[in-house]
């Protein structure tokens, strides 16, 4: 078994796995696999250190029991994902605040964590690996795990779990583990009377997404362009959205924000009204409201949301796993001169790509090819480009075509390049239209004719300040011209 076991509540598995990968890269023998009930005593006994991730999520009874055993054996280290999240019962052990902060603060706190781990683990951290580990650790702790229904082990609120352990007694609890009686204790805890829902539970219920078959299912909202969402709002759905927004439903408030921004059917175009609804939704930490606040700032800077507030909301929506927010925030980070920021951008692009998002696949492919924080390997980008191409992503079609045209990262193939450029050209993707026309203009008569048509289309694109004049020059060289309406 591992010398260092990372224990975390359900909902924090992704962060625990990510942190385990970072610690392994530093040289520790770390494991973050959730245990079966029968494995808990052996895991605690075998580990030289039990690193527990505490957040605001309720802790299951097994976690409280395992941490009690670790504290009893003086091998516990607490890491807080939320400030002061460590239960009072376990604060006698070292406690490190890893809640989000700026990079300088995180560097100091992560260093303090490594010092505590070095005290308990026979393996010591590799100092040379620390710079890369810092960026990876910060990125890992921003991960989220989709909520899962509880399985065979009962999950209690942390206060109830701690009271249960204190009341039963740590020593008796450890003996119960050894004697195989823990299942009985869990049943006792399950029988504890329940109280009214806490405010957190009420907020979660209010943020509950509509069924996947609904017109505005969250899985679709977070992946499609906001203009496409607004275009699907009709008179009937506008009435439902307004009604929900008046009841304080955060997802309805987010859609009302979008409706006013776009002037969708049933909504008066009003950046001010849009801001009010986005503010209300964001105040309830609804990812859609947080993300649409960023959209509103871009589309209507005069609406009243500051750039700092919009970016902060975008970052929070990204942290909550909203796909479009992850991509947009990653683009912001990718423009930074900081390698840490660019590495985090790659992680976010990958998260979106792994969900099957075509835009995420394209941006991650470009990150793999170009980012100083990435491998700068065009070959590594190919699988992600191919996936995006099958979904009709025009930027990916253009990028993959260029790789085939120039033989970069793949064997040169002009036929494949032309076919890919043609796909994007049919969607009026200007760079692809231009590159395809340049490949065709010296070919057979039918290819030359196609090139002229493409140049003519580009010559009439007044918003293409760079490509449009080049297309006009090409037409003159071919003794042709364009008639624009």
CA atoms of 360 and 23, how far apart (whole Å): 28
The whole-model pTM stands at: 0.59
Query: pLDDT tier at 205 (50, 70, 90 boundaries)?
Result: very low
Residue 1: predicted pLDDT: 59
What confidence tens digit (pLDDT) does each residue in 67-78 have? 888 888 889 999
Does pLDDT of 159 surpass 50? no
Kindly state the percentage of the chain with pLDDT values over 70. Answer: 83
What confidence tens digit (pLDDT) does each residue in 76-126 have? 999 998 888 888 778 888 999 988 666 778 888 888 899 999 999 888 888
Query: pLDDT tier at 143 (50, 70, 90 boundaries)?
Result: low
Residue 284: predicted pLDDT: 94
Does pLDDT of 173 surpass 70? no
CA atoms of 76 and 78, how far apart (whole Å): 7
Residue 182: predicted pLDDT: 43
Residue 189: predicted pLDDT: 40
What confidence tens digit (pLDDT) does each residue in 333-351 have? 999 999 999 999 999 999 9
């Amino acid at each position: 078994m591992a010398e260092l076991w990372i224990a975390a509540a359900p909902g924090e598995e992704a962060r625990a796995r990510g942190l385990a990968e970072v610690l392994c890269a530093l040289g520790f023998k770390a494991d973050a696999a959730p245990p079966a009930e029968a494995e808990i005593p052996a895991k605690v006994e075998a580990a030289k250190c039990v690193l527990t991730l505490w957040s605001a999520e309720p802790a299951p009874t097994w976690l409280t029991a395992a941490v009690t055993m670790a504290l009893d054996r003086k091998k516990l280290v607490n890491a807080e994902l939320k400030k002061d999240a460590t239960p009072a019962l376990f604060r006698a052990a070292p406690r490190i605040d890893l809640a989000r902060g700026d990079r300088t603060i995180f560097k100091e706190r992560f260093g303090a964590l490594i010092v505590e781990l070095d005290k308990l683990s026979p393996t010591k951290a590799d100092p040379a690996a620390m710079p890369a580990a810092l960026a990876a650790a910060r990125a890992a702790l921003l991960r989220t795990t989709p909520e899962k229904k509880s399985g065979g082990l009962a999950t209690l609120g942390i206060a109830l779990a701690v009271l249960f352990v204190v009341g039963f007694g740590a020593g008796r609890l450890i003996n119960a583990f050894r004697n195989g009686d823990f299942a009985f204790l869990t049943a006792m805890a399950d029988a504890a009377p329940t109280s009214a829902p806490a405010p957190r539970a009420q907020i979660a219920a209010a943020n509950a997404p509509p069924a996947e078959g609904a017109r505005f299912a969250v899985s679709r909202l977070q992946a499609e362009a906001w203009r496409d969402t607004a275009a699907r709002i009709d008179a009937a759905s506008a009435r439902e959205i307004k009604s929900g927004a008046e009841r304080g439903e955060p997802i309805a408030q987010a859609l009302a924000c979008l409706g006013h921004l776009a002037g969708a059917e049933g909504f008066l175009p009003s950046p001010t009204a849009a801001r009010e609804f986005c503010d209300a939704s964001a105040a309830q930490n609804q990812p859609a409201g947080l993300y649409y606040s960023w959209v509103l700032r871009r589309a209507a800077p005069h609406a009243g949301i500051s750039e700092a507030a919009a970016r902060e909301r975008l970052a929070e929506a990204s942290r909550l796993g909203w796909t479009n927010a992850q991509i947009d925030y990653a683009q912001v980070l990718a423009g930074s001169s900081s390698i840490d920021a660019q590495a985090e951008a790659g992680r976010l692009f990958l998260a979106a790509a792994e969900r099957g998002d075509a835009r995420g696949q394209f941006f991650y492919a470009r990150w793999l090819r170009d980012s100083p924080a990435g491998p700068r390997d065009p070959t590594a980008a190919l699988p992600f480009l191919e996936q995006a191409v099958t979904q009709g992503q025009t930027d990916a079609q253009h990028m993959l075509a260029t790789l085939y045209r120039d033989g970069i990262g793949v064997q040169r193939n002009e036929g494949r390049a032309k076919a890919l450029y043609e796909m994007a050209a049919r969607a009026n993707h200007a760079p692809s239209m231009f590159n395809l026309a340049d490949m065709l203009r010296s070919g057979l008569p039918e290819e030359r004719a196609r090139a002229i048509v493409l140049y003519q289309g580009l010559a009439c694109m007044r918003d293409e300040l760079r490509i449009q004049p080049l297309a006009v020059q090409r037409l003159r060289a071919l003794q042709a011209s364009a008639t624009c309406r």
